[in-house]
Amino acid sequence: MITVTSEISIPESELRLDFMRAAGPGGQNVNKVSTAVRLSFDVRGSPSLPEEVRERLARLAGRRVGKDGILVISARRFRSQERNRQDAIDRLVSLIRLAAKRPTPRQKTRPTRASVERRLTDKRHRARGKQARERPSDTEG
């Protein structure tokens, strides 16, 4: 059981871990041992997550969630399989924690009278400068 927050915990049976060979440093070890990890987690089908957390998680994960609702996290930072496995799980947990926080609703505010006045004054000033760049009309002289 992976504890995410005090209310949310995910059984390890909901995670699917695939191991494959990783590219990069590691010498001959790279060609022999499958150290890279691909973690798959069914966001839409998980009974462990509340509906609102599921929706926010899918939005936060972006392209990492496929059309089928499965979140895929690849970990190949470390040379050992166990560290990559833990890294993938940690990244999933931090993503779910982020999705579990409710966003604070936006407070409507109005600009101050002074800021409106500054904006309009600057706008008039810019307009005068642009008008000065115009070609003089042929009606003169």
User: With bands split at pLDDT 50, 70 and 90, how would you rate the model's confidence at 113?
Assistant: very high
Rounded mean pLDDT of 84-90? 87
pLDDT above 70 for 17? yes
CATH, range 2-100: 3.30.160.20
Q: Where are the alpha helices (DSSP H) in the chain?
A: 29-32, 51-61, 81-100, 113-132
User: With bands split at pLDDT 50, 70 and 90, how would you rate the model's confidence at 116?
Assistant: very high
- Phi and psi, residue 5, nearest 5°: -130, -175
Rounded mean pLDDT of 79-93? 84
The pLDDT score that the predictor gives to residue 9 is 66
